Amino acid sequence: MERVWSKKLPIFFAVCGGICLIGSAVLCAGLDRGGYLDHIAVALAMLLMAAIAVVLLRLEKISWENVLVMLLPIGIAVLVRTCCLEAVSSDYQSFLGGWYQDFYWNGGFKAIAMDIGNYNVPYMYFMAAISYISIPDLYTIKLFSIFFDVVLAWGGFRLVRVLRGKKDSQDRIALLAFALMLLLPTVVLNGSYWAQCDAIYGALVVHAIALVLEGKNKSSVALLAVAFSFKLQTVFLMPLWGVLWLAKRVKFRQLWVFPGVYVITIIPALLLGKPLGDILGVYFGQMGEYPRLTLNAPSIYQYVPYGTESGGNHLDLFGIAAAAILVLILLGVGLKFGRRLDRRAVMAIAVVMAVGIPFFLPHMHERYFFLADVASVCLACVDRKGIPAAILVNASSLASYRVFLRLKFNWTLTIGGNQYGMPIEATVMLAALVCSVVVLVNELKRCAAEENEVEIW
């Protein structure tokens, strides 16, 4: 009986997943924007996302039996994202929609040379490209991010498989990571509801970590450069490659791939007439754009009274110094342990960076813990001691998303006439940081007990 049930279970999961995909197509038919041809195109795009997920799993040598089981989380992920397509966030209204209009009315790629938006040029290539098609831009912007949600899930699968050191068609832990990446609330909300694009750099960084742990250092650094060309927040994990260099896992000459690849990403913009200074100045402009110490991020600055500005009190310098000290300590770990650091220890370092750096830095948005969300889950899949940190990170991050999307604090604290907007969210993230450090310390103790270098990652 048990054997019969095990044979029928994949078919049951596949049928349920198929129903979800049909439901997604039906919802697309009822979209408000555009005409019926646009709705068909969006429905086909959503179904294509599911097909890509299946193809990626097959490319990873996952058996058809397990692929059928995975159709359920894939179908649910597609259906949930379809339900979010009509949502119009304030970021779309204030920024993304306007940028699209600027490209539309100014000749698409010809407008690359203009001063449009404050994102780096790779994302602007995409904005220029969609200005040539008739599908409403709200949907195309979200579909681009949803595609990278699938790439992110693939990255989580690959990273967990590398951390486990196993490659087989029955790797259910890696498949769990794939499903979790697709269904994490912040991942779902970020692209399909909010129309943000953090999944792009997030997916590339996760793949870069997997590659470097496989010893494919040049490919890893190249992907890291592409991630950085999309989003400045890639810097939260860039010091990891410094740790690996000090640990003699990455050679210094391999790091020079980074500037080379970054230059390649900006060449099209230069050829289209965009000044080099404008391209290189994008990230500097972003850093000075918001004076507030925190922008709904569950960071240390939530312990400062709400409304306090950074000017004149030097609290922003304190946070920058704290983040720098954290990075220096982790670099010291790489130097001290060298090649005794194994894959899990390196991943624990990555999680501490992803949580700790944005926790201490000023002027952070709630979305800047995206890498922490996904990295902590990947570590939790291979180390049960990392589960509390993953739960805490994602709970705090999701609560912070709720603040922005509702434009209302979840709960405030008033002491001595001063209001604190997100003290609970910040405390939960602080607890997550502590848990992440504890996991790292335990991993380092294990590495210290090893007498020999870890020759095989």
- The span from the CA of 429 to the CA of 360, in Å, is 11
* 273 torsion bin: left (phi>0), alpha (psi -120 to 50), beta (else): left
Pairing of the two strands 364-365 and 294-295: parallel
Local structure of 308: helix, strand or coil? coil
Partners of 117 in beta bridges: none
Per-residue model confidence as pLDDT tens for the chain (457 residues): 445 456 789 999 999 999 999 999 999 999 999 999 999 999 999 999 999 999 999 999 999 999 999 999 999 999 999 999 999 999 999 999 999 999 999 999 999 999 999 999 999 999 999 999 999 999 999 999 999 999 999 999 999 999 998 777 678 999 999 999 999 999 999 999 999 999 999 999 999 999 999 999 999 999 999 999 999 999 999 999 999 999 999 999 999 999 999 999 999 999 999 999 999 999 988 877 777 899 999 999 999 998 775 555 688 899 999 999 999 999 999 999 999 999 999 999 999 999 999 999 999 999 999 999 999 999 999 999 999 999 999 999 999 999 999 999 999 999 988 999 999 999 999 999 999 999 999 999 999 987 667 655 6
C-alpha of 253 from chain center: 27
Is 256 in a helix, a strand, or coil?
Answer: coil
Q: What is the DSSP letter of 367?
A: G
Within 8 A by CB and 6+ apart from 408, the residues are none
pTM of the model: 0.96
Which residue, 288, 289, 290, 310, is CA-closest to 301?
Answer: 310
Residue at 359: amino acid letter:
F
State how far the Cα of 140 lies from the Cα of 127, in Å rounded to an integer. Answer: 9
Question: For 203-229, how does the pLDDT look when each residue is reduced to its tens digit (9 = 90+)?
Answer: 999 999 999 999 999 999 999 999 999
